[in-house]
Copies of this chain bind each other. A is one copy, B any other.
């Protein structure tokens, strides 16, 4: 099964947040807004979105930081994914 996000959306697979790691990324404990690291698994085609040209900068395999409240969660073949707009992706972790 294959998901193709529409317009400027991407599908990401959340990486489980561990409370403490030696050198990895750890989500801030702030209750206000908990960002999460995730891997991009599908990317839309961009194009004209809400009347504005959008170029997709993200590609499959990118590790990204997103705000936890961004996007919509879906379950596919037993695994959880999140679909969100590229503009809701905060940063790429290289």
Contact = CB atoms under 8 A, between A and B. Distances in A.
Q: How large is the interface on A (under 10, 10 to 19, 20 to 34, 35 or more residues)?
A: 35 or more
Contact of A75 (B5, B28, B74): B28
Copies in the complex: 7
Contact of A50 (B2, B52, B73): B52
A40 to B, nearest CB: 12
Contacts of A73: 28, 30, 32-33, 35
A51 to B, nearest CB: 3
Interface of A: 1-7, 9, 11, 23-28, 30, 32-33, 35, 42, 44, 48-55, 57-58, 65, 67, 72-78, 80, 83, 86-87, 89-94
